[in-house]
Structure 1
Amino acid sequence: SGDIENLPVPVLYRDFIGHTLYYQSINDSESYFRSLLGGIDEPVYPFELSDTLGDGRGIKESSLLLSGELSRGLREVCTGLGISPAVLFYAAYGLVVGRCSNKRYAIFGSVFSGRLQGSLGAADSLGLFIN
């Protein structure tokens, strides 16, 4: 109490929505992606498996905790490239799927946080930010 004047000016979620709607109205992303991906006419399936086999009971899961040194190194690379570690692993996953499909690429989708692509101050605003 008594320090209210020292608080930053709040960033409103509606400002982010306005920013997003404006850029959607001036951005022709459909044409961009058609020119980039229009020549792709077949899906990419790892190991040519287009469907799940069985009831899923035999699925095995694996996880690996990265060493502190490797984790710091990856974060430094990401900082240098101006991307998040999530984007780096997303790209790596695409390369693995592509190679397992005997292709140079794999196109797939995922929901990512949209705060980094948002308007100024979006990182300090409350609200749902997905692309």
Structure 2
Amino acid sequence: MPRRSPCYRNRPKRRTVPNHIRAGTRSLSGASIYILRCVDGSYYTGIRRRSVEERLSEHMQGLIPGCYTDARRPVKLMFSEHYERIDEAIATERRIKGWSRAKKEAYMRGDFPALVELAQRGPKGNGRR
């Protein structure tokens, strides 16, 4: 094994600074989920570790090529919710993405009894008895 020069050992350890701190933007712990309404009336659910408003701006400007919202602009922020733990935010985003339009709207209104009713009803056209 080659020997390293003594100056290598004496070099101060390099501290890494995350880009968002270096750029001066505010860092949030955890993550936020958000729901956008597109110009065609459909909903888009996403997740963001930093500012939701910053992400909304990116969607509005079309800075995310190939994204669902790219061809459905302008978009409007309908709902956002912050989670302290990112794993909870990811689980919530995945769950909401699988929901019907009616369930998403009930969730955004905070109408939890309607959510329970819609969950029991099952998929459209598949009535449970």
Both structures adopt the same fold (TM-score exceeding 0.5): no
Q: Which has the higher contact order (CA 8 A, sep 6+)?
A: 1
Higher helix share: 1
Q: Which of 1 and 2 has greater Rg?
A: 2
TM-score where L is the length of structure 2: 0.21
